[in-house]
Structure 1
Amino acid sequence: MDSVGTEQEAMGILDRRDFLKLAGAAGIGAAAGAGLLQSGAGAAVRTDLEPTDFTFTTRERFRPFHILAENFVRLDDSFNRNTRGNYTLLRPGPASEDDGFVDIGEGKARFGGQDDYYTILKSGTGQRAPFATVIVNVASLSADGTVYAGLYKDNNNYVHVYYDKDRSVVGIEARVNGETFLGPDSPFGEEQVDREEFRGSFRFAFVVNENRVIALVGDRHMDIGNFRPLIERDVFFETGIRQGEDEGALDLRRRGVLATFKNGFGARSETGSNIVFDRVRAGYFGEAGVRDLHTVQYADGTPYIKDNKLYFTLTNAGLGFFEKAHWGVWTMDLSDYSKIEQVGNIFWYNEGEKNIILGHHAGQIIRDEKEDRWIVVVSSWGDFGRQGGDQGNFGTVTYPDEVPRYEPPVDILYAELDFDVNPLRGVHILEGKKHPVNAVPFPTEGKWDPGLTRIDGRWYMGYVIALDLFSDFQPALAKSPRGADHTQVNFVGADWAREATEGPIIQKLGGEWRLFASHGDDEGNRDGTNEKYINRYPIYFLRSANPGANEENREAAEAERGQRLAFDGYLEAPHPTNIPHPVIVPIRIRRDGRTRTKYIMITFNGDQFFERVLGYGTHGDFFVMQAEQTVRGYEF
C-alpha cells in the first residue's frame, strides 16, 4: 500500500497544457473518463490515507454573473432587417399619444411621431417562470425622451422599468386591469439618478426575480458584473399589500400571468423626437452569484461526467433574498476549471399549487439506474415563510401535535422523473412533494440542503436540521432500511453542538464514506473555547455516536444530549466566507498506464453584489480546489 508520504504528489493536470499532454499519452477518454462516466467503473481505491489526511488548495476563483442567461435567450433582435411583424404595437398612454410610429431596419429601431407619442413593442416571446430579463441598447435618447423595458400583456396590463431623461429619474410601474401602481404618481415609484450615468448610448435593463422588479444600467466599471442596480420594488406588495389588501393584484408567479406577459420595450416623447435602439435581448435571468453547489450523481455516488464535463447544480443568486434565487444545472470543463456553463433551469410548484411557479433551490439530482428514474431533492426556499415575498414576515413557527399540519418556513421537497425526461438540459417545472425526512427526528423550524446516496442497499440522506431558523442549525443524517426507498429514512444523528452548519455532503474520500459539512464565519464551540474553524471542514462517520439515545427527544437535542453523529475530524482546505459546501468530487485519471483518483472540491463564498440596494442574498464567488494527494484506483 502507498504510504502517506508517497501520496503527497500533486496531480498536475489542472491546466489545459497538462491535460492535453496527458490526453496525448493516454487518450482523452483515459484522461477524463470517456464520454459518459458510468457508475461502477474502475478499480477500488488503495491507500493508507484517511479522509482527515487530505489537504486542498484553491486553483480557481471567479464570479459568474449574467443578468441574462446566455443559453436561455428568448429574444435577440439587432434590427438588421425589418422585424416589425414580430411585435405587437401597444399604446398605453392617453388617446393624445397615439400617433407614434416605429421603423426597423439597418441595425436600428427608430421610434418617432408627429407629436407626443408613447409606443411599446410587445414581442411574442416570454418565460415560463418569473425569472426574466429584458435588456435594451439605447443608441440615442432625446432630451425629453423616456425608454421602457418589461413584460406586457396589453395596454392595461404590464410591468416595466423606465428612464426619463428630462426628469433624470428611473422608475418602476405596473398596471393591472387598467389601474396603475407605482410610477411617477407614486412616492415609491421612482429614484433620482445622475444624468451622467445615461450619457450617450447606454444599456438599460428590466429584471424580475419572483415578484421583485429591478432596473439596472450597464456599467463596465463594476467590481462584480457589468450592470448596476438603481431601483427595486416588490410588485406583489406594491399592488395591494401596501394598500392594506391581503394580496397583491399582480403576482408574477402565476402561470396565467406568465403565459400572457411577453417581453417588450418602447419609448415616449412629448415632442415626437426620435428615440433609437440598436438591440434588444430578453429571456431567463441568469445569476448575480452562485452558491449551494452539489454534483449530479448516480445513486451510488459516482459523479455524472459526460464529454469531459462535470454536471452539478447551483443556486443562481437573484437580486435579493432567498425567494429571488432559483436553481440551475451547470457543467464544468475538467480540462479548464474556469469554463463553467449553465445548461439547465429547474423551477417548481408545490404539490397542490400548480399555478404558482417558484424558484426552489439548494438540493441534488440523482440518476437511479436501478429504478430507471431521476430523483430530485430540493429546499423550499422559493416561497420562504410561505408569504411569497420578503416583506419581513418569515412565517409563524409552531409545533402542532399533528405533523401533517406543520408548516415550517423552509423544508425538503422531492420529485421523481422517468428517464425519458432529461432534467439536466433545458427548462423544467417540477412538482415538489414534501419529503418524509421533514419529520425526522421531529418537526423543527426548518430543514434544507438535502443530498442522497445509496450505499450497500440503503439510502443515506444528508441534510440540515434547524432548531432555530436563523441561529441554531446543524448537519444531520438519516438512512433507510436495507432495500427500502429514500422516502423511508430513519434518523442517524446530528451534530447538536454546531450553531451554523450547512451543505452536508456524502462522499467517498480515500475509499472511505463520510459526511462532510461546513460552519459559519464566526462559529465557536459552546463549551467556551471559542475555537474558530479556520480553513477546515468537520467530517463525520455515517453512523451514530450514541445509537441508544431517544432520537425524538427535542429537549435532549437542545441540550446537546440527543442522538448525534460520530465525529471523525477535520478536512484541511480553504474555507471561504459564509457557509461554503464542501463538494468533493473524485475524478478518474491515468498515470503511467494506471488508474488513479484525484479529488477536486467546488464551493462558494459570501461576497454580496450591491448589497446597499439589493440587501442580503446575492452571493457568491465560485471556487475550485484540488487535493494535494492522489490515490491508486478509482472510488467507483
Structure 2
Amino acid sequence: MPASRRAVLAALAAGALLPGLGKLSARADSASRDAMGPLDLHFRITQRYRPLQPLSAFVTLDDGFDADSTARYEALHPTGEAAGTLTAGGGALAVSGDAPYFALLRSGAAQQAPYSTVLVDVRSMVNTCQAEDSVFAGLARDERNYVTAWYNNVSKTVGVDVVTDGGLHPVALASASLAAPFSFGLILAGDTAGVLAREADGDWRVLSVQRTADLLDLRAQDLPAAYRNTFGARADHGTIVLDRVRGGYSGYFGLRDTCIVTAPDGTPHIEDDRLFFTATAAFADPASSHQCVFSLNLADTTDVVEVGKTFVRRDGRIVGDHAGKVVVDPDLPGLRVFASTWGTSDLETTAVGTEVADLPGAALAGIHLCDVPGRLIQTGYDPCPTLVDGAWQVPVAGTSLYRFDAALESGGQVAAADDGFYEGPRTLQLGGTWYVMAGGIKDFRVYRLADLSFVGFLDAEHPQAPAYPFGNPPHPSIAAVPQPDGSTRYVMVTFDIQTLPGAVGLGNLVIEEAVA
C-alpha cells in the first residue's frame, strides 16, 4: 500500500478549525451544460466544520431515571463487593453505601457490531474517599468478562479495564481531573478503546486511546450481541449520583472518504432536497473506523444528519470496512454496498481491496450487516462504481480503472494513470462525456473515464492549502443537482485532514460549490 495513506492514518496534531464561509451558488443553463466539461467548473469552499458525535443516532439504551428502573439491570459483582443501595427516580440514580461498594449494572441492550459507545452523565461524586470514588461505562458479558472505561476521582486518573475470564488488564491509563457535573464514557471501535469526557458546556474530549484487540477482540461475530451496555459506580462509602446513561452504536469524531450515493447510472440520490453521501466515521486507525450514510440539506449545507451505517461480516468477524460507495439500485431493488477492506488492515502488510454486497429490499436508513462473497478487486480502494453502457466502471485509488459486466461477475483492470499518487477517484458526466476526478496532496486531477487519459486540473480550492503535508488527500465527490428552472447546481462534498487532540478523528467536512 502507498506510504501516504499509512502516514496520514498515523495522524498529526490537530490544526485550528476554519469557520464556514458564506454560501455561494452557481447554475449552468442547459445549452452551456451540453458543451461544458469539468475544467469549466470553478469550485470554492462554502462550508467547513467538524462533525463530532461520540454516540450516533442509533441508540439502544437511554435511561434518564425518571422512574425506578433498577429492575432492568443485572447487578454484577466482579470484586465480591456489594452493589450498594440503588435509588432511582426523579431524574437520578443514587448509588450509596456505608462500606465499600461496586455497582456494575448490565443492561439488556447491545449492538450488532463492535462499534459501541456508552455514556453516563454524572451529577456528583463523593469527594471524601481514600481509594475509590469512581464511575464506569462500557460493555459486559458477565462479571468475569467485560470492558469498561473508568474515572477515579481520588487518583484523578482514567483508564480502561479489560477483563477476560476474571483476569484484569488495565490499559489506556491517563491523568484527568473532572469536576462534576460531567459526562463520561467508553468508545469501543473495532480493535480500539477510548475514554471520553465532557465537562459543563464544553466539547467531548478523547482522554486516552489504546488498541485492545490483543486482549479482547469483539469483532468476532458471535461476541457483540453478548456484550451488553453497562455502567456503574464504586466508592469506599457515600453516594455517587448519575443523571442519565446512554448506549448505542458509536458516532464520529471527524469524517473522511466522502462519496455521493447514486443510482447505478451515477444520478445523485436526493430526497426532499437532501443529498445523500457516505463517509468514514474516523477514529484512531482504519480498523477503528466505519462507513456511515448521511444526508445533506441542500438549502442549508451545515445541516448534516446520519441516517445509516454499513458493517461487513467476513472471515468470522464483523468489521468496519469503509472508503466505499452505496448505490441505490432499482433492479434489486435495494442497495449495493461497496467498501474497501480497511476493517482488518494493519497499515503495513495487508493489501486493501474492494468488496461488494447486495442488500435486496434494504433502504438507506438503518444498520446494515453486509455479507460479502469475496473481493471484487484484490488490491485497490476508494471505489466509485458507475454503470455506463451496460458495464460497471470502477475507478480506484492509484489511479486505476476496472471494468465489470452488469452482474459484477467478470471483469478486470483496463487502464491505469501514471500520476504519482491520487486518491478518491469520483465519476461525473458532463457534456455527454464521463470523467474521473481524483484528489492529490495539492490539487485535483481530471481524467476521461473511458481510458483514464489526463484532461487537466480541476479549478477547486484545496481543503488544506497550499498543500497537504502528507497523504489521505480529499475526495472530489461532486453532485450535479438539477434545478426547477432547468439549470444545474454543482456541489462537492469533501474533507480535510485535521485531527483532534490525541490524533483521533481525521477530517473536517468541507463543502464546495461551483462558481460561474
TM-score (norm 2): 0.89
Match of 2:255 among 276, 290, 302: 290
Q: Offset at 1:44?
A: 8.7
Alpha-carbon distance, 1:480 to partner: 3.7
Alignment of structure 1 residues 4-43 onto 2, 5 Å: none
Contact 2:135 2:233 in 1 (8 A): yes
In the other structure, the counterpart of 1:78 is 64
Contact 1:600 1:627 in 2 (8 A): yes
**Contact 2:47–2:511 (8 Å) recurs in 1:** yes
CA deviations on 1:246-266 (whole Å, 9 max, x unpaired) are xxxx21112332111111111
Distance in 1 separating the partners of 2:125 and 2:136: 12
2:134 and 2:234 in contact (8 A); partners too? yes
2:43 counterpart of 1:60: no
Instruction: Give CA deviations for 1:444-471 in whole Å, capped at 9, x if unaligned.
Output: xx4101111111222211112xxxxxxx
Q: 1:130 to 1:190 in 2, by over 3 A?
A: same
The CA deviation at 1:581 is: 0.5
Instruction: Say yes or no: does 1:101 pair with 2:41.
Output: no
Task: Confirm whether residue 307 of structure 1 aligns to residue 263 of structure 2.
Answer: no
Secondary structure at the aligned position of 1:323 is classed as helix
**What is the aligned counterpart of 1:507 among 419, 428, 439?**
428
Q: Which runs of 5 or more structure 1 residues have no equivalent in the other structure?
A: 1-12, 20-30, 32-41, 183-187, 240-249, 386-392, 396-407, 439-445, 465-473, 521-532, 545-564, 630-636
* Cα deviation, residue 371, structure 1: 5.2
CA gap of 1:373–1:72, structure 2 versus 1, over 3 A, is closer
Aligned to 1:275: 240
Q: SS at 1:286's partner residue?
A: strand
Match for 1:179 among 159, 167, 176?
Answer: 167
**Separation in structure 1 between the aligned mates of residue 333 and residue 61 of structure 2, nearest angstrom:** 36
Check 1:374–1:108 CA distance in 2 against 1; reply closer, same or farther (3 A cut): closer
Q: Is the 8 A contact 1:437 1:487 kept in 2?
A: no
Q: What does the per-residue CA deviation read over 1:15-48, in whole Å, with 9 as the maximum and x for residues that have no partner?
A: 8xx99xxxxxxxxxxx9xxxxxxxxxx9897443
Counterpart of 1:80, as a letter, is D
Q: Which amino acid counterpart does residue 541 of structure 1 have in structure 2?
A: R
Q: Return the offset for 1:169.
A: 1.4
1:413 aligns with 2:355: yes
Indicate if the aligned counterparts of 1:14 and 1:335 stay in contact, CA closer than 8 A: no
CA distance in 2, matches of 1:235, 1:58: 39
- Contact 1:589-1:596 at 8 Å conserved across structures: yes
CA distance in 2, matches of 1:126, 1:344: 17
The Cα of 1:67 is off from its aligned counterpart by: 0.4
323-332 or 427-436, which moves further after superposition? 427-436
Task: Give, as a single letter, the amino acid of the residue that structure 2 aligns with 1:236.
Answer: A
Distance 2:430 2:293 in 1: 24
Matched, 1:624 2:511: yes
Alpha-carbon distance, 1:370 to partner: 4.0
- Distance 1:496-1:433 versus aligned 2 partners, 3 A rule: farther
Deviations 1:191-218 (A, max 9, x none): 233x3xx123111111111121111221
CA 1:221–1:537: 2 relative to 1, 3 Å: farther
Question: Equivalent of 1:230, from 187, 193, 207?
Answer: 207
Q: How many angstroms apart in 1 are the aligned matches of 2:374 and 2:500? A: 32
Q: Please say which structure displays the higher CA radius of gyration.
A: 1
2:386 to 438, 453, 459: 453
For the residues of structure 2 that align with 1:54 and 1:192, how far apart are their CA atoms? 51
Which residue number in structure 2 is paired with residue 573 of structure 1?
460
Instruction: Report whether the alignment pairs 1:582 with 2:503.
Output: no
- Measured against aligned partners, the alpha-carbon deviations of 1:212-247 in whole angstroms (never above 9, x if no partner) come to 11112214686xxx111222222222x2xxxxxxxx
Quick one: distance in 2 between partners of 1:189 and 1:332? 36
Matched letter for residue 257 of structure 1 = L
Structure ranking higher on relative contact order (CA contacts 8 Å, 6+ apart): 2
**SS of residue matched to 2:372:** strand
Asked if the contact 2:83–2:104 (Cα under 8 Å) also holds between the matched residues in 1, the reply is no
Query: Could you tell me which residue of structure 2 aligns to residue 529 of structure 1?
Result: none
- In the alignment, is residue 321 of structure 1 matched against residue 285 of structure 2? yes
Aligned 8 A contact 2:34 2:430 in 1: no
Contact 1:59 1:625 in 2 (8 A): yes
Structure-to-structure mapping, 1:175-254, within 5 angstroms: 175-182=163-170, 188=171, 190-193=173-176, 195=177, 198-219=178-199, 226-237=203-214, 239=215, 250-254=216-220
Q: Which residue of 2 aligns with 1:358?
A: 319
Map of 1:369 onto structure 2: 330
Residues 1:291 and 1:220: Cα distance change in structure 2 (over 3 Å): farther
1:380 to 341, 344, 350: 341
* Higher normalized strand content (fraction of residues): 2
Q: Which structure dedicates a bigger proportion of its chain to helix?
A: 1
1:479 aligns with 2:445: no
- Say which SS state the counterpart of residue 371 (structure 2) adopts: strand
Please report how far the alpha carbon of residue 55 of structure 1 lies from its aligned counterpart in structure 2 after TM superposition. 0.5
1:628/1:510 Cα in 2 relative to 1: closer, same or farther (>3 Å)?
farther
1:98 partner SS:
coil
Distance 1:510 1:625 in 2: 21
CA distance in 1, matches of 2:51, 2:31: 36
SS state at 2:207 partner: strand
Cα distance, 1:59 vs structure 2 = 1.2
User: What residue number does 1:349 align with?
Assistant: 313
8 Å Cα contact 1:45/1:511 also seen in 2: no
Partners of 1:327 and 1:189 lie apart in 2 by 25
Taking structure 1 as reference, are residues 77 and 571 closer, same or farther at Cα in structure 2, changes over 3 Å only?
Answer: same
Partners of 2:474 and 2:281 lie apart in 1 by: 15
Deviation, 1:110, is 0.3
Identity of counterpart residues, as a percentage? 31
Where structure 2 has 5 or more consecutive residues not aligned to the other structure, the ranges are 1-21, 465-471
Structure 1 SS opposite 2:39: helix
SS of the aligned residue for 1:429 comes to strand
Is contact 1:99–1:115 with CA below 8 Å preserved after alignment?
no
**Which residue of structure 1 lines up, in the alignment, with residue 8 of structure 2?**
none
Matched, 1:147 2:68: no
The aligned amino acid for 2:71 is G
Alignment match, 2:375 = 435
CA distance in 2, matches of 1:300, 1:118: 58
Give the match's secondary structure for 2:319: coil
- State how far apart, in whole Å, the 2-side matches of 1:514 and 1:161 are: 48
Q: Distance in 2 between matches of 1:429 and 1:480?
A: 24
Q: Give the deviation of 1:618 after TM superposition.
A: 2.3
What is the CA distance between 1:409 and its match in structure 2?
A: 2.5
Counterpart of 1:587 in structure 2: which amino acid? V
Which residue pairs with 1:599 in the alignment? 490
RMSD: 2.3
Does residue 119 (structure 1) correspond to residue 103 (structure 2)? The answer is yes
Give the C-alpha shift of residue 340 in structure 1.
Answer: 0.7
Once residues 35 and 211 of structure 2 are traced to their aligned partners in structure 1, the CA distance between those partners, rounded to angstroms, is 56
What letter matches 1:285 in structure 2? S
Provide Cα deviations, 1:63-96, integer angstroms capped at 9, x if missing partner.
1000011x211111111111112211112212xx
Q: Distance in 1 between matches of 2:111 and 2:140?
A: 12
Alignment coverage as a number of residue pairs: 483
Following superposition, the deviation at residue 14 of structure 1 comes to: 5.7
Offset of residue 569 of structure 1: 0.9
